[in-house]
Amino acid sequence: MFLLKLPMELSGWLGRLILKPIFYMINMITFSLFALNDWHKNHPLFKRSSYQNIVSQIIFTGIDALPAITFLALVAGFLFTFRLIVMLDTLGGTDNLINILVNVIGLEIGPLISAFILVSRTGSAIVVDIGNMKLHGEIEGLELLAININDYLVTPRLLSCAISQLALTVYFTSITMVVGIVLSSILISSGHLQLLSSLSMAISPMMLVAFVLKNLIFGFFIAATACYHGLSVVKSPTEVPQQTQQAIVNSLIMVFVLDSFLGLALL
């Protein structure tokens, strides 16, 4: 009897395993679309007042994160850019050096490290903030005042995170590239300084679009995951750390999955 049931149970387990992330993704996209729709209804796209709340979120998400991202960019400049130049120099493949730097540092490492910082810093803060608001009935209080939560709390975070992720990645990548190239020109060959001038030529319009899209999508979904888990807190204080942990793990998985899909799309 057990042996007869085993294939059924295994297939059921496998089905649930596959369906769970698919439903999670559908939930996340639906949640984000509803939030954007509610925001769009109340805020004309080209009105300055529509963006006041978003600007204050950008200050927290983007500007306050600058010291951490500057330090990491300096370290990454040595760890990735400089070492990549040294390796390629040793192997003699300097012809494509600038293309490799743009693809590896600009399109992969930069967005990923900025996303890690956004997940660990802003994502976790959003879950704790919204989770505690939910727990203390503050969200219910806002709803009782006819304040739309999607409009007031969720969408400003989604948009500000998307913009901040893009801005932080531009900042991070620029520092990482410059530090690595300058170091290599001091320690290996002064000719490497020319790489700085050829950087702008190496970035194709397609690459630029991919870079902007990737970062906007990363930031948007990091915030969406955080808001979704924050609002999933129901009534126990123990749910806040649980939801924070889930949001961080799911955000990181989502960043890698999205990165893979976008990488495939760019091939």
Partner 1 sequence: MKSPVMQALIQCQAVKANTSPDKYMGNELDFSIEQGQVIALLGTDIENTNNWLKTLAGVYYPSSGQVTFFGKGSSQFTKADWLKLRKEIAYISKDINLLSMLSGLANVMLAANYHKIANPETVKSNALKLISQMELAELAMLLPVNMTRDQQLLFAIARALMLEPKMLFLEAPLVQFDDQDSFKELIFDKIRHQKMTLVVSTQDAQFIQSYADKVVFVDKDCIISFNNSNEFFMSDNPQIKRIIKKVPTL
Q: Any contact of residue 40 with partner 1 (CB under 8 A)?
A: no
Q: Any contact of residue 5 with partner 1 (CB under 8 A)?
A: no
CA distance 38 to 50: 13
Contact with partner 1 (CB under 8 A) among 147, 193, 208, 253: 147
Stretch that binds partner 1, among 19-27, 93-101, 133-141, 194-202 (CB under 8 A): 133-141
**CB distance 139 to 20 below 8 Å:** no
Q: Any contact of residue 136 with partner 1 (CB under 8 A)?
A: yes
Q: Any contact of residue 141 with partner 1 (CB under 8 A)?
A: yes
- CB closer to partner 1 out of 116 and 152: 152
Smallest gap, in angstroms, from Cβ of residue 236 to partner 1? 15
Contact with partner 1 (CB under 8 A) among 33, 71, 143, 204: 143
Taking residue 118's Cβ as centre, other Cβ atoms within 10 Å add up to 29
Contact with partner 1 (CB under 8 A) among 28, 79, 142, 216: 142
Stretch that binds partner 1, among 69-77, 115-123, 147-155, 207-215 (CB under 8 A): 147-155
CA distance 156 to 56: 9
Contact with partner 1 (CB under 8 A) among 144, 206, 264, 267: 144
The sign of the torsion formed by the CA atoms of 67, 54, 227, 158 equals negative
Q: The tokens of 142 are what?
A: 């806002």
Stretch that binds partner 1, among 15-23, 127-135, 197-205, 225-233 (CB under 8 A): 127-135
Instruction: Let me know if 60 is exposed, middle or buried by CB neighbors in 10 A (0-12, 13-18, 19+).
Output: middle
Nearby residues of 88 by Cβ (< 8 Å), 6 or more positions away: 94, 97, 100
Q: The tokens of 134 are what?
A: 């939910």
- CB closer to partner 1 out of 9 and 143: 143
- CB closer to partner 1 out of 45 and 145: 145
The two counts, helices (H) then strands (E), for the chain are: 13, 0
Q: The tokens of 125 are what?
A: 């803060």
Q: Any contact of residue 55 with partner 1 (CB under 8 A)?
A: no
* Residues of this chain that bind partner 1 (CB under 8 A): 129, 132-133, 136-138, 140-148, 152
